[in-house]
Amino acid sequence: MAEKSRDGNTTVLHGKYELGRLLGHGTFAKVYHARHLQTGKSVAMKVVGKEKVIKVGMMDQVKREISVMKMVTHPNIVELHEVMASKSKIYFAMELVRGGELFSKISKGRLKEDVARVYFQQLISAIDFCHSRGVYHRDLKPENLLLDEDGNLKVTDFGLSAFSEHLKQDGLLHTTCGTPAYVAPEVIGKKGYDGAKTDIWSCGVILYVLLAGFLPFQDDNIIALYKKIYRGDFKCPPWFSSEARRLITKLLDPNPSTRITISKIMDSSWFKKSVPKSVTSSKKKEDQLEFDDALFEKSCKQPETLNAFHIISLSSGFDLSPLFEEKKREEKEELRFATTRPASSVISKLEEVAAKDGKFSVKKSGSRIRLQGHESGRKGKLAIEADIFAVTPSFLVVEVKKDNGDTLEYNQFCSKELRPALKDILWTSPADNSALA
């Protein structure tokens, strides 16, 4: 509910947010500056009129946007803090991105290749993350790319996105959507398309626009425009470097089956030429995690004996975290199990898992074991730590948690490799057969 504050001048929403000035508006939504009363933090409050949305049959689109934004948390994607509703309106409390649209930057003229590369690297990082979650944006264009105060790119507007569940029996999407100049030829062809491939095409158009300052496909006649897109009929300006030209030609390949993939984009010489500061700093952090053995040794102890408070906090029956976090069970970044085996058995089991595919190296110190991944994933190299606690000399609790890397990759490793390998050393209470919390 929106209500007037005591001074009668400001509007307070749900007793949580103070609504401020209007930042912008579209056909179905208005976006306001808002302040969280408890923390004082500024947010962007997107207000959608229910009646208007229902009238034009777009309620599913709004629900989809909510679902998608809850699934995709990434530094280059606008974050959704919470969703509230009244009888007539839906309120999205979102991350406030203060730097404006990337579009307004391009409207002043083309960007230098190094600047365009940083934006493109961030865009590809965000889209790769979405695709790993089975989400396809389907309306990528500079107007849906915002910039924060530090000039970092943020992808927004997931209203037209699709989930992998929307695929038909042929494994393809069939809804025609997107903005004409950025839409892939297979979408125009209406024969069904791969959501990942169409997003890559749109990224190609965006990269072209960043480097050229104008669109690759232009025509006042929409049919003529579609014909150009369908044929992949464009020319690179003479100031494009040969590497940029090569990459754009692969991105704007009208045949989706031969169009470049995200992994090949990331592997291209143009993409890899310079790495953004944010990536450099996270790599430094990752290297410290990997090689700072002295720090690792210092922080480790012999199996710690748990007191009653520890046991209560480790018990899922007393776990109060669901009151504070919305993570689903499968999205947990840690798992716990009990065992009557000695600590040496637990450590040798974890060593077995690490040695299985040679993807991890093992570091041990007292009651802690660390599995350090060798291959770089979506968010650096996966690192997993296991701490062993002694409840009694013959009864141990083991806590396994992600220390670095991508949560989805960690969860996949836990379900496919770790859980099956640990089954024979688990202690199961007579009342409960699910010992892995």
**DSSP states of 79-119:** PEEEEEE-SSEEEEEEE--TT-BHHHHHTT-PPPHHHHHHH
Distance, CA of 346 to CA of 82 (rounded, Å) = 40
Count of residues for the chain?
A: 437
Phi, psi of 185 (to 5 degrees): -60, -35
Q: Which of 364, 373, 372 is nearest to 346 (CA)?
A: 364
Distance, CA of 187 to CA of 178 (rounded, Å) = 9
Positions annotated as catalytic residues are 139
**Do residues 69 and 166 make contact, with C-beta atoms less than 8 angstroms apart?**
no
**Do residues 207 and 248 make contact, with C-beta atoms less than 8 angstroms apart?**
yes
Cα atoms in the Cβ-side hemisphere of radius 13 Å centred on 336: 15
Q: Which of 52, 49, 51, 55 is nearest to 30 (CA)?
A: 49
The residue type of 71 is: M
Q: Give the SS3 label for residue 320.
A: coil
**DSSP states of 241-297:** -HHHHHHHHHHT-S-TTTSPPHHHHHHSHHHHSS--HHHHHHHHHHHHHHH-HHHHH
